[in-house]
Structure 1
């Protein structure tokens, strides 16, 4: 089940990345122009070979000079026809591309420069024109997400009198997300989705550590003095958030411009994914006074499937962030405990 969820998450995010990594107008124009140039060079090279064959036949006396010239003219005309036919398909692509650009379905990183060449028999391909096509903002942008803060477990619907250090238990999150403006002419609502790695750390109090007893994972007091005791869970999740951005649209050069993360914003939603690994780290001094770090990897009866709720509120790139796992951390413990995290989140464009 865990592997299936991981594969599914990677597949979905790869599909999203492919969907939103379309080439810009200039890049697609460049590809078409390069293909036209390749076709022309290929046909001319083939014509050169055929002409050399005709010259060879003339030198051997198989055909006269007049016959050779007639054959060369026919070959040149046939080559020009081939170029025209093959380039016609590229012209159709170019026409469709320009139409999509005019309709605003293709983004441009810069103005389109004048570019034109002549190919074949009276065939001229002109790409672009005047430098009047300006940058158009995309409704979907990508962002790097980084969050950090404190982590703990909710027991009996409370974090009071916790068995884990409040300031010593941390969480970190690193992810890649896409931000899509839902409405074409309104900047209020955005849909955010992507993929994140969550690192949730728990440090028990009172010199304790986690011990597995069959299906139960419980805290036990260590016989030696622990310098550090920590349980780390690494989760791969797909976050899905609805974000409200209060930044109004702006008008520049008689065009509507929608900027994000320029003012106050807040979002809420959830996440789902899988636990990738669980590790317990114990640090102590042995009988000789040497420092020892003991790392134990295992499942510790932790739930494989992760799902929860999250919310954030902030200004520009920085926000206060809260997330809560709806699934219990330990699958079969009699006392159900759910992970909760509170910290600061950075959405970096």
Structure 2
């Protein structure tokens, strides 16, 4: 099963009602992975801060020059960045495996009681005790105008050429995207739950797989698709971005009233619709080619600019129910700077906003 097929199967199951988006076991495990990703990022950043301070001390003591200090800082930053990518990548694999288990029906109800002990200090949860605990958490969240969510999205990715995706040079099912990040959700009106402003930070992975045994070749200022001299088992072009998304969200979750008559403003419990955009910068571009030669499997990884735009900006929208929604994003700037034919990236998939 390909990565995209996995998420497509998840989407179909959700739409058909075969998989509950509110299933406790699934949601709690996803949130655990989200916490792990957040902890990894903070840990590596804190480690980098300590290392930079040590370099500054060496500079002040005169044991190294400013040029040497700048070079050390750059090397340390690159090392920590690679650490984050590697460790977060492992967490992402756990998340993909979890989704696959969900789709395959391997998450059983028996695990629900066992897993919940980690998140509730009241011991194994009886129905009444856990209900009170859950309600107390929800009530506390309802009192806050601003909450936070972990965002994960995945789906298909392609390029719009001459205002159309039809007849694309890239595989529809093989080209995919991933996005993960964190967002803050602020209720805009004090006594009305409809309008929310969502701002955050995301890492986007946009992948393209050319058709007809082709790969990207840079010719001066142009980046073209050319037929490979060997039979390619895989040809993939990946661009990674760090972006700041902003959305105006319409949340139709009904306002509730507790036993004391206090109004509770909850979110992500009904139909939601968001519209907005994003802006950011490119972290790296990589082309991966796989083929066989003299009975050996060969993998070639080529890093470079490929004449791609260093900055990215676009529009995005989503609509869904609860924490799950259908997600569409479109880059307003072309992928390649000076190509004769302008091509803009477009992505469609499933998005999870997990409280």
TM-score scaled by structure 1? Answer: 0.61
- Distance, in Å, in 2 between the alignment partners of 1:175 and 1:217 is 30
Measure the CA separation in 2 of the matches of 1:240 and 1:166: 28
Task: Check if 1:292 corresponds to 2:298.
Answer: yes
Distance 1:289 1:193 in 2: 51
Match of 2:215 in 1: 209
State the match for 1:254 in structure 2.
Answer: 261
How far off is 1:244 after superposition? 0.2
What SS is found at the alignment partner of 2:189? coil
SS in 2 for 1:282: strand
In structure 2, distance between residues paired with 1:190 and 1:326: 24
**2:253 corresponds to 1:280:** no
Query: What's the CA shift for 1:137?
Result: 1.6
What pairs up with 1:189-268 in 2 under 5 angstroms?
189-252=195-258, 253-268=260-275
* Aligned Cα root-mean-square deviation (Å): 1.2
Query: How far apart are 1:308 and its partner, in Å?
Result: 0.1
Give the structure with the larger helix fraction: 2
Structure 2: unaligned runs, 5 residues or longer: 1-41, 43-138
Larger Rg: 1
- Please give the alpha-carbon distance, in whole angstroms, between the structure 1 residues aligned to 2:324 and 2:223: 37
| SS of structure 1 residue aligned to 2:243 | strand
Describe the superposition over 1:173-195 as per-residue Cα deviations: whole angstroms up to 9, x where unpaired.
00100000000100000000010
Out of 287, 307, 320, the position equivalent to 1:301 is 307
Q: d(CA) in 2 for partners of 1:222 and 1:237? A: 33
Deviations 1:198-240 (A, max 9, x none): 0000000000000000000000000100000000000000000
What per-residue deviation string (whole Å, max 9, x for no partner) do you get for residues 247-296 of structure 1?
1211112111001011001100000000110000000001x210011000
1:324 aligns with 2:330: yes
Deviation at 1:302, TM superposition (A): 0.4
Question: Which of 148, 168, 171 does residue 165 from structure 1 map onto?
Answer: 171
Residue 347 (structure 1) aligns with: 353
Structure 1 ranges of 4+ moved more than 4 A: none
CA distance in 2, matches of 1:340, 1:191: 24
Instruction: Deviation per CA, 1:154-181: give whole Å up to 9, x if none.
Output: 0000000000000000000001000000
Q: Deviation per CA, 1:119-143, whole angstroms, max 9, x where unpaired?
A: xxxxxxxxxxxxxxx9462110010
Question: In the TM superposition, what are the counterparts of 1:61-210 in structure 2 within 5 Å?
Answer: 135=140, 137-210=143-216
Does structure 1 residue 338 correspond to structure 2 residue 341?
no
